[in-house]
Amino acid sequence: MVDTRVNLCGITIDNPVIPASGTFGYGYEFAELYDINCLGTFSFKGTTLDPRFGNDTPRIAECPSGMLNSVGLQNPGVDDVIREELPKLERVFHKPVMANVSGFSTDEYAEVVKRLDRSAVSDMIGWYEINISCPNVHGGGMSFGTDAKMAAEVVKAVRWMTDKPIIMKLSPNVTDVTEIARACETEGADGISLINTLMGMRFDLRTKKPILANVTGGLSGPAVFPVALRMVYQTAKAVNIPVIGMGGVSSAEDVLEMMMAGAVAVEVGAANLVDPYASRNIVRDLPAAMKKYGIDSF
């Protein structure tokens, strides 16, 4: 009998499979399809201080072995998440959830965490995943994740607002991701998650214009898996805090590769958009894959 349990920043979860933010909504939508309590946990949709409609359409473009998105952090804002979304989730999910937080200033990141942490539903939250890596918004997001000093400032601001684990979500669109990971660790981050999407674009040959209204978008899917694996490997060797790997994961075997690269847990993103049962199927297939490769526990 294999043991799929892992310890993520002091919290034991049943398995390392975590649907990634932006691909799993606020969870209850997927609970209509299957019992989402089979998951280790999941990272809910990136939440900002104020409601955001997101970028103009079109904001999705297909490409070989993946997709581009420039959704732009569409969400109802933190107050509505506290009032409407999390109470609905509480009825169907009985494990700690990962709260994904985005912002356009250090103060905004801190304020979103403060409101979540002091809310009536704060007991539902096990970890804060701080997204400093979104490539699809202007004036925020990735700008914090490409500069070690700015990344450290976000960690410092958020650290004052909560005693819960803080996991910093990093961008692959940098020269040296380990420099930023180490800066986050120094300021008190409890974990690192990576990678977010790689910047890319497509043209419509008929109109001779970019397909995405935002011109560029984030590339995700199997095409980015080798890049993600390399960055997870480098980061896990560079820091002494847990690393969550993500980027193109679509099978139990991909999860095992991420774990071998040094990840303690693995997020599944674009695969959920192709097949809403993808994360459930990976959880189902994981014990057999572990047995096949002689892995008794993580």
Distance of CA 114 to the CA centre of its chain: 20
Question: Which structural domain range is residue 110 located in?
Answer: 6-291
Residue 298 lies in a domain: no
Section 102-107 average pLDDT = 92
Residue 20 lies in a domain: yes
The token pair that represents 166 in the structure block: 């803080």
Instruction: Give CB contacts under 8 A, 24+ apart, made by 258-263.
Output: 258/228, 258/229, 258/232, 259/16, 259/298, 261/229, 261/230, 261/232, 261/233, 261/236, 262/232, 262/233, 262/235, 262/236, 262/237, 263/16, 263/232, 263/236
How many Å apart are CA 158 and CA 115, to the nearest integer? Answer: 11
Residue 224 lies in a domain: yes
Task: For residue 24, name the pLDDT band (cuts at 50, 70, 90).
Answer: very high
The answer to whether the CB of 6 falls within 8 A of the CB of 264 is yes
What is residue 140's predicted lDDT score, i.e. its pLDDT?
52
Residue 151 lies in a domain: yes
What is residue 133's predicted lDDT score, i.e. its pLDDT?
78
- Chain-wide mean pLDDT for the chain? 95
> With 70 as the cut, is the pLDDT of residue 230 above it?
yes
pTM of the model: 0.95
What region, left, alpha or beta, does residue 138 occupy, with left being phi > 0 and alpha being psi -120 to 50 degrees? beta
Our count of domains for the chain comes to 1
What region, left, alpha or beta, does residue 212 occupy, with left being phi > 0 and alpha being psi -120 to 50 degrees? beta
CA distances from residue 166 to 43, 130, 213, 289 in whole angstroms, order as listed: 13, 7, 33, 30
How many Å apart are CA 264 and CA 141, to the nearest integer? Answer: 25
Residue 57 lies in a domain: yes
How many Å apart are CA 111 and CA 92, to the nearest integer? Answer: 27
How many Å apart are CA 87 and CA 137, to the nearest integer? Answer: 28
Could you confirm whether 9 is annotated as catalytic?
no
Q: What is the CATH number of the domain that holds 222?
A: 3.20.20.70
What is residue 146's predicted lDDT score, i.e. its pLDDT?
80
| Three-state DSSP class for residue 84 | helix
DSSP-H helix ranges across the chain: 28-31, 78-80, 86-90, 106-117, 142-145, 148-159, 177-186, 225-238, 252-260, 271-274, 278-292
% of residues, the chain, pLDDT over 90: 93
Catalytic residue among 9, 38, 134, 184: 134
| Phi, then psi, of 140 in degrees rounded to 5 | -170, -160
| Phi, then psi, of 19 in degrees rounded to 5 | -55, 135
Residue 103 lies in a domain: yes
The token pair that represents 30 in the structure block: 């997927």
Residue 230 lies in a domain: yes
Task: For residue 67, name the pLDDT band (cuts at 50, 70, 90).
Answer: very high
What is residue 56's predicted lDDT score, i.e. its pLDDT?
92
Nearest to 235 by CA among 215, 261, 205: 261
What is residue 145's predicted lDDT score, i.e. its pLDDT?
73
The CA-to-CA distance between both ends of the chain, in Å, stands at: 13
Residue 106 lies in a domain: yes
What is residue 144's predicted lDDT score, i.e. its pLDDT?
74
Section 198-202 average pLDDT = 95
